[in-house]
Amino acid sequence: MSHLDGSIRGGQKPRATLGTIIYSKTFRTIATQVVMAVFVVMAGLFLYNNVVENLRAQSIATGFGFLEQDAQFDIGETPIPFNATDTYARAFLVGLLNTLRVSAAGILLATILGFSVGFARVSSNWLLSKVATGYVEIVRNIPVILQVIFWAVVLRNLPAARDAIDFGGFAFLNNRGLSFAVPATDPVHGPMIFACFAGIVLAILGGYLARRHRENTGRYISMLWPSIGLIFGLPAIVWLLGGAPTALSVPALKGFNFRGGVTISPEFTALLIGIALYASGFIAEIVRAGLQATPRGQIEAARSIGLRPRFVMRFVVLPQALRVIVPPLTSQYVSLIKNSSIAVVVGYPDLVNIGNTAMNQTGQAVEAIAVMMLVYLTVSLVTSTFMNVYNRLVAIKER
């Protein structure tokens, strides 16, 4: 005891013994996690081996070798080239790309709608606020699968291609989708996309430097118009340097359907509208709660010192509202991605739809479902990680 007291008084740590290590909080925490991980792995291996043995007893093939076999079916919408002689692995890839495409478009549309309706919910305009409230109550209280089916039925009852609704000769809406004109393929488009990406990076960097300058000097530098100039100006300069191509690929009716331009299928559109509207109702309520979480006194204090309304929103309301909005918003984005799995009800070839086809053809249900679960888990975790990083960037740094 005297030796231990002397070591502590002399600034030396007491010598670690087996007993102190075993009863330390750190060791017990790590040991508990290791035991739990081993238990989970062992339970998973036991279940997997049990399923494999039962399948073999019933003469059902097991393993993931079927991914290298020919799929022997076609897919209606393929972001990448695909035909019946390609493998199941490539078919799953097509399904994944279709899932990511509709999910990304759905998140963008739901965010725009949700934030717009959320701001309208707290508006001082009585009519606008009530309309927004009615929108939220309707879209979030109807099951998402019914909304998707409803929009699919609506789109399927549009006029046939020969009687398509004409939007000035540049877009045509019919029961086979929306066809619209796009710029004809040109070599300058690749550098324009790169210039746009560089403009976004420079705008983010400029915003960061402007914020540091304001924090150090108290002087505000608006980066709105410089950011817009970078994002749109740089691609415009590249476009001019590339000869300013203006050729358009305009859809034209040939036979029973339109050729040229870009056509968005009714299946994709119905799924997109259904999942985006459903998610926008919840996002609107999240935004409303975040805006109303800011103490009223802080807003009145900001106004009393002469801050303009946009500065009150930018520097007082939003920093505190985002701290409330971002975490539940992440859950809504993940839910939207998972809701895209109901695409099978309208025939959109997403990951689950293609996985079901592969499962029915090969009879390897366990492996096909495992692939789908692993893909959705990965996509959800990546989305959560990205939103968590964003949450840390916008979080208020408290001392």
In a 13 Å sphere around the CA of 261, the CA atoms on its Cβ side amount to 21
238-296 confidence digits (pLDDT tens): 999 988 888 888 888 888 788 888 888 889 999 999 999 999 999 999 999 988 888 88
pLDDT bracket for residue 398 (50, 70, 90):
low
- Confirm if 375 and 91 have CB atoms less than 8 A apart: no
Tell me the C-alpha distance between 146 and 360, whole Å: 26
Q: What is the DSSP letter of 63?
A: S
Domain map (residue ranges) of the chain:
88-184+247-394
Low-confidence winner among 13-17, 203-207, 237-241, 249-253 (lowest mean pLDDT): 13-17
pLDDT bracket for residue 300 (50, 70, 90):
confident
Residues 6+ apart with CB under 8 A from 129: 120, 121, 122, 123
- The whole model's pTM is what? 0.78
Q: What average pLDDT does this structure show over 90-113?
A: 94
Low-confidence winner among 7-21, 53-67, 155-169 (lowest mean pLDDT): 7-21
pLDDT at 196: 92
Q: What is the DSSP letter of 175?
A: T
Say yes or no to pLDDT of 176 above 50: yes
Tell me the C-alpha distance between 32 and 82, whole Å: 48
Tell me the C-alpha distance between 226 and 346, whole Å: 44
Question: Phi, psi at residue 337, to the nearest 5°?
Answer: -60, -45
Q: Exposure pattern of 366-377 as b/e (b: 16+ CB <10 Å)?
A: ebbeebbeebbe
Give the highest mean pLDDT range of 95-99, 249-253, 319-323: 95-99
pLDDT at 1: 44
- Residue type (1 letter), 258: F
- Confirm if 358 and 344 have CB atoms less than 8 A apart: no
The CATH code that applies to domain 88-184+247-394 is 1.10.3720.10
pLDDT at 89: 92
Element holding 254 (H helix, E strand): strand 252-254
